[in-house]
Amino acid sequence: MLSPLPDHLALDSRWRKWPPKSSQLQSFWQRVLQLHLCVIYFFSGLTKLLGSGWWNGESLWRALTRPPFDMVPSEVLIHGKYLFIPLGLGICLLETSYPIFIWPRRTRLICLVGIITMHGAIAVLMGLYLFGLIMAVLNIAAFGTHLFRRRAGKAI
């Protein structure tokens, strides 16, 4: 995936003191990333809702107990077996509603925190650290840049 960084966040622009380029190209690539994530999450959630495994918690159980992703012992998972159904439905609803709640400013932060928490849990519970990090960075790059603009503006 190729996409230019905002100039005020790029390290080389700070080192070489280059003048900022047009932000229109950066805005275009950010919009492409936003639409890409919305389509992926919506259809991922919809596919999960259409299957029975996410309604009864079976898919979460299989994901957490199948090698090489079985980072948490099965004995520990058995104690939380009643959480699998609400967590499975919560994941489906979070992914399906992502394109709806990520756009309004009032719900963006809640949706962003939810999706990053989901990917953090995937990273920790399944050992998919790089995947969790990449997905968190992509979501922040797409919808969380306003959180860093204020801080970057003060630092410059």
pLDDT of 154? 57
**What CA–CA distance (Å, rounded) separates 122 from 91?**
11
pLDDT of 129? 98
**What CA–CA distance (Å, rounded) separates 46 from 79?**
29
Query: What does the angle CA 67 – CA 131 – CA 5 come to, to the nearest 5 degrees?
Result: 170
pLDDT of 146? 82
SS3 25: helix
Residues 125-149 have pLDDT tens digits of: 999 999 999 999 999 999 998 877 6
Check if the beta carbon of residue 98 is closer than 8 Å to that of residue 115: yes
Residues 32-70 have pLDDT tens digits of: 999 999 999 999 999 999 999 999 999 999 999 999 999
pLDDT of 26? 74
156 pLDDT tier (thresholds 50, 70, 90): very low
Check if the beta carbon of residue 6 is closer than 8 Å to that of residue 23: yes
17 pLDDT higher than 90: no
Query: What does the angle CA 13 – CA 138 – CA 24 come to, to the nearest 5 degrees?
Result: 50
Higher pLDDT, 132 or 23: 132
